[in-house]
Amino acid sequence: MSQIVPAFLVESFEEFETKLRLVEPHTKLIQVDVLDGSLFGQTNWFDAEQIGTLKTDVDMELHLMVKNPLPVIETWNKHVPTFKRAIIHAEIDRPVGAIVDQVKDKLGLEVGVAVNPETPLSAIENVLHTIDQLTIMGVHPGKSGQAFLGQSVLDKIAEARQHREDLVIEMDGGLTDELIEPLTNMGANRLCAASLIFKDPDPTGKLQALNERLMGLGAN
């Protein structure tokens, strides 16, 4: 069954902890955005040492929108006990396959690769059968609250599912209530939600309602 993954794009430790406590009762996984200005221009807060002091059972995956992901991954692996998965971008000018191997084999973490809306799956065909997750961007990276880019994203999800039936496919960006059913029908397993949850007057209740909706779709 598919799951909702609350996505964190934050500017401070206080904002991170506030959001974590809001979603903690109704999720087993969150995605933490990492922007250092090197790949997409924007920056945000993602201090591993401070996050590692928080008591939580929620697993965390990192969406690494950076040119050099390994130092960040190593720091998080050292300080954050519930860090489970690193997602690196296909668009970096470094050997993606070598990074995937190092993170999986030497650090013992799961690895995902993210592809921008304009990046074809052929760009990552050398790692498509070794990664644990494919993250398909529904918007251009860097800002929360953007509009979903439409049919091309759905088509890419369907194409990825045809390539590999067992692959975990995550859609990140632009999620709305109306998109949940078509995305799951196309084969998306994880749906990242930022604005959809955190701009709601009741973020905790919104996440609970989204989870219940997915359970209903899974029962059909």
Which residue numbers are catalytic? 33, 172
Q: How far is CA 54 from CA 50, 71, 129, 135, in A?
A: 7, 21, 35, 26
Burial 147-164 (b: 16+ CB within 10 A, else e): ebbeeebbebbeebbeee
Encode 128-138: b = buried (16+ Cβ within 10 Å), e = exposed: beebbbbbbbb
Torsion of CA 70, 75, 80, 85, to 10 degrees: 0
What span, in angstroms and rounded, lies between the C-alpha atoms of 30 and 155? Answer: 25
Report the distance separating Cα 220 and Cα 45, nearest Å.
40
DSSP symbols for 96-157: HHHHHHHHHHTS--EEEEEE-TT--GGGGTTTTTT-SEEEEESS-TT-TTPPP--HHHHHHH
DSSP state of 12: S
